[in-house]
Chain A
């Protein structure tokens, strides 16, 4: 087990090095000068030249690469040309926002998607199955930005129930401050015993989470359904049904458990994908997360930020998948024996 984990971590590091090389090269050979981004609207030739030298852009690309590698290994991802802040602190400020959004959205998607999938699987072709599948098709087919705008129009524009954008109310944040311990506002506000801020954070989270969960729920439901149908037709399930065990117990205790191993892989991939793929939701709701940061960095050719954010997202994605692989050992007793 330990050896397996070590092997996987080594592989992860090698993959990251590959990611680093590729993003470094792509961001450096892209046409266009990033210098102007740094210098505001009307730089002088002297300022441009000074900035090029300061950024090391006058050096050969391999010199730039090794300098960058050295910095990254010592934990320095450079300074963002667009925000003027250190890339690490930029990412730090935004990563928790994305993680909170994605985690809550993912939990909601699982909470709805798995029971729905099981329900569809045990009553295939019933009306409720068709209904659930139709809804899931709609969830998958509706573009996320459209759904987000629709929710905004209905719940903010028409009903006035929920806030339109942002992560927390400006006044609340200022009048009842709380310490950013975990970066998850829901947790931090509760730790501080600050219910006003908790309510504001929760209300702001509602629409982006719903939007994000809508598409994901559909995927979760369909995968669960397919796997459950397969498991339900197997002999050991037929046996427990024949023994007359309660239906709930058969579905959740025996069938779901057997279906869980392939599901875990998919869920791991979905979660990892959501971390980088929540860009559109973040954009529509002005969620100050990592996705929007990545997109803006790419658009403005802010190469230190692009490389930094790619590395962080790749690390997160690979870590989630590593965690899933290790979870197999927990979920599937056969793997522990071998």
Chain B
């Protein structure tokens, strides 16, 4: 046989082998769920994780309590907190001592029993490490375990421990035995929680495999997924193809135009539900010319709220009212609807007294977000009609954040998406608008003593007199609107895109991703 003959025969047989194997390769087993992630997991340590890790962690670890999903339209003034690892909890009259009764007969994946000492060790470690979202426990003075099922958390000032303990970051209870191995051990793809799934394998940059925890404290039923493969698929078009072909049951990264196309496919369900993510264009209150309140107000009237929500976001966002999303408790529903009114905008620009040659502003934003880019292009065009020039400054987050913190390099406007670490309106009001020195996320560089005082008082009342807190938060939100510190334009919807035979998808704004335990595959 000549060498050429050999090569062509080898190629031909390789192709035959490949093709004959493909049928087996592309089918997904009925009891396996495939979930497409857009990036790999970085921080496996539940004390440190503070990003998309929550999608994984929520299925492997459990908190003491959780925020229960609300049906759309439910009143949201009382956060619906329900027990997970705690069955019962009480707060003392002075709102400083919280006593949790723990669930009996629960073990961690490594066999260590869950008891008060383990929960204490877990929370103590998270707080001591001081990384990730550990700051949510600020104000906790001491955690004690008087007996096996009683966990006492004592605070130095009134803080809403029930809400804090329901956070999707920094509040998971993990095995103290496992934690002795340290963060490096976790970061090799190890985990030990009490959750319904255990980590069976991690191939870096490719996939994480979860399997049913046979000793889970809730019962397993027929039809629940035995195995979950979380696949890293970075490209949106690839995710779209994967869900079309059935190679994935869930996808997580789809731009709105692809979303519209997938909606027409009967095998694919595209659901939108309220999330607590909102997007705002913060207006720099210290930098000329946006340090002028009339000029800032003019900007808020040059934004075409309704068209941007319907045309650019294509219905995947609602027009925001104020800084706190409409489905978060404490949102002020009495805030006026924002008005797109170019006449009024023009009048306010003139009233500001800023000379025409200085009517130039800049807006910085993360360049990869198509919706934000397009919204700003529309805004730029409208501003041009009233004689204001808008310069767009897209960039990677690391760079624009660095610029925005420093008043010298800060833009006049900074587009920022925000979501809470635990369910409280204070996350927005304190995190983005309370006076800061040095500046971290108050990228409007806003400082108002009256506002600061209202937020501080409301926070102190969250655990003792929630209604009073809500009233104070409402006033604080009104102040931000009056001072035109931002264009509040989008309460972004969460997108749940999955194969139509998947049932039981719980849509909960407090947690990213889905609860794999509640899912079933409908049998044909």
Contacts and interface: CB of A to CB of B under 8 A. Distances in A.
A162 B207 contact: no
B206 A167 contact: yes
Contacts of B2: 248
A161 B238 contact: no
B50 A45 contact: no
Given A32-B398, A152-B241, A206-B18, A83 B42 contact: yes
For the complex of A and B, 10 pairs with smallest distance between CB atoms: A40-B50, A32-B399, A199-B21, A32-B398, A288-B205, A170-B229, A33-B402, A40-B51, A161-B22, A203-B18
A170 B18 contact: no
A285 B28 CA distance: 19
Given A42-B50, A48-B440, A200-B21, 7 more contacts: A33-B399, A152-B238, A157-B244, A162-B25, A170-B207, A172-B25, A300-B398
Interface string A30-49: 01111011011110111110
B1 interface: no
B14 interface: yes
Interface string A221-235: 000000000000000
Given A174-B201, A199-B17, A288-B204, A40 B233 contact: no
Nearest to B28: A171
A156 B133 contact: no
B43 interface: yes
Contacts of A111: 7, 11
A138 interface: no
Interface in A28-79: 31-34, 36-37, 39-42, 44-48
Interface in A142-182: 149, 152-153, 156-157, 160-167, 169-174
Interface in A284-332: 284-286, 288, 292-293, 299-301
Interface in B364-415: 395-403
Nearest to B246: A160
Contacts, number: 167
A94 interface: yes
A163 B26 contact: yes
A171 B22 contact: no
Nearest to B32: A171
Contacts of A166: 206-207, 231
A82 B41 CA distance: 10
B18 A162 contact: yes
A85 interface: yes
Most buried by A among B7, B234, B241, B398: B398
A93 interface: yes
Given A45-B440, A170-B229, A165 B242 contact: yes
A228 B49 CA distance: 59
A90 interface: yes
A283 interface: yes
Given A164-B245, A174-B209, A300-B398, A286 B234 contact: yes
A173 B201 CA distance: 10
Contacts of B40: 83
B169 to A, nearest CB: 8
Interface string B110-152: 0000000000000000000011110100000000000000000
A206 B17 CA distance: 11
Nearest to B237: A149
B206 A288 contact: yes
A312 to B, nearest CB: 16
B285 interface: no
A288 B207 CA distance: 10
18 contacts: A31-B399, A32-B395, A36-B397, A84-B42, A94-B205, A153-B241, A161-B19, A162-B18, A163-B26, A172-B25, A173-B203, A173-B207, A174-B200, A199-B24, A199-B25, A285-B238, A299-B396, A301-B396
Most buried by B among A149, A171, A199: A171
B265 to A, nearest CB: 12
Interface residues of A, number: 62
A163 B241 contact: no
B79 interface: no
Contact of B231 (A161, A170, A206): A170
Contacts of B169: 40
Measured as residues with beta carbon below 8 angstroms from the partner, the interface class of chain B is: 35 or more
B4 interface: yes
A202 interface: yes
Contacts of A45: 438, 440
A293 B39 CA distance: 11
Interface in B220-262: 227, 229, 231-235, 237-238, 241-242, 244-245, 247
B229 A84 contact: no
B164 interface: no
Contacts of B48: 40
Interface in B1-47: 2, 4, 7, 11, 14-15, 17-22, 24-26, 28-29, 32, 34, 40, 42-43
A183 interface: no
B158 interface: no
A149 B235 CA distance: 11
Contacts of B332: none
A277 interface: no
A304 to B, nearest CB: 14
Interface string A92-125: 0110000000000000100100010000000000
Contacts of B87: none
B441 interface: yes
